[in-house]
Amino acid sequence: MAGQPSMTLGERLNASSPRRHARRAAIDRAELFHQVYDMADLSAYTVTDRWLIKGAGLLFYGLIALIGRTVRWTIVDWHHYEALRRSGRRIIYAFWHNRVFLATWFWRQRGIVVMTSPSFDGEYIARFIQRFGYGAARGSSGRAASRAFRQMAACLDSGLDVAFTIDGPRGPRYVAKPGAVRLAMRTGAAILPFHISAEHYWEVESWDRFQIPRPFTRAVILLGRPICVPMEGSPLEIAGRQTELQATLSDLRRRGDRWWTR
């Protein structure tokens, strides 16, 4: 308007900077959601492998959905989950690898992001969990794991929850690895340990003795007290939280696996 001094170039740049940052953040968040929730391009695989990946993804999705619908649940200490939801704090779910089957069914359609390997097996796993509403951060060892860790941290910063099979992908069985504690320290999210035990199940001859529940079985899910890791914690404090996580998961497993023999 006449009589009013015009803004300098620097003032105009400063005024538009928050808007540019907001647009950039929105674009980055949309790209992150695309990476974890959309099924990956399979063009790098052979035609046969593409069909196998798609077929295996559908098969496992159907199997989990078919059996999962028949399971009768008992839920113990659900107030731990509710307290975290009320607090607004993001959640890092931690559980043992051999209970993936029922964990996939129980926590479905919550947008939780889990780590899968960038491989043939990891790709069909990513596909069936994405059908249940999960996201997939691809990486299990080496540099791929570092990329997946950064992606999971970005997910937490963007308001998404994540999950770890804490002794996976190759064990040792029932030994908690430090990924969840490291991620909690990086992001300020809380770790929520849980354990699932089915009354009747088949056991696979694998490193973790993977469990597949029988149809119409009863199952119990036990939640542990959330574990918060100080973002500026000392090495001693961090080690203490790792010990606490191991002890909590071990206790939940003992309680859960004795649940049906009481």
| pLDDT value at residue 35 | 87
Q: What is the pLDDT of residues 121-165, one digit of tens each?
A: 788 889 999 999 999 987 665 556 688 888 999 999 999 999 999
Q: What is the pLDDT of residues 2-59, one digit of tens each?
A: 454 555 555 554 556 666 656 666 668 888 988 899 988 888 899 999 999 999 999 9
136-140, 146-150, 202-206, 210-214: segment of lowest average pLDDT? 136-140
Per cent of the chain over pLDDT 70 is: 87
Q: What is the pLDDT of residues 159-198, one digit of tens each?
A: 999 999 999 788 899 999 999 999 999 999 999 999 999 9
* Location of structure tokens 């399979």: 42
| pLDDT value at residue 120 | 80
Q: What angle separates helix 235-258 from helix 179-187, to the nearest 10 degrees?
A: 130
Q: How far is CA 209 from CA 23, 164, 174, 189, 250, in A?
A: 48, 18, 11, 30, 16
Average pLDDT over residues 79-98: 96
More confident residue, 232 or 247: 247
| pLDDT value at residue 199 | 97
The answer to whether residue 222 scores a pLDDT higher than 80 is: yes
76/78 Cα distance (integer angstroms): 6
| DSSP calls for 31-75 | HHHHHHHSPPP-TTS-HHHHHHHHHHHHHHHHHHHHHHTT-EEEE
Average pLDDT value over all residues in the chain: 89
Say how far residue 8 (Cα) sits from the centre of its chain: 48
| pLDDT value at residue 66 | 97
| pLDDT value at residue 142 | 55
| pLDDT value at residue 187 | 95
| pLDDT value at residue 86 | 95
213 DSSP β-pair partners = 201
- Residue-range domain boundaries for the chain: 35-261
| pLDDT value at residue 220 | 98
| pLDDT value at residue 18 | 65
Average pLDDT over residues 221-249: 94
Residue 208 CB neighbour total at 10 angstroms: 21
Of the options 3.40.1130.10, 1.10.10.10, 3.40.1280.10, 2.130.10.10, the CATH number for the domain spanning 35-261: 3.40.1130.10
Query: Which of the four pLDDT bands, split at 50, 70 and 90, describes residue 65?
Result: very high
96-105, 107-116, 135-144: segment of lowest average pLDDT? 135-144
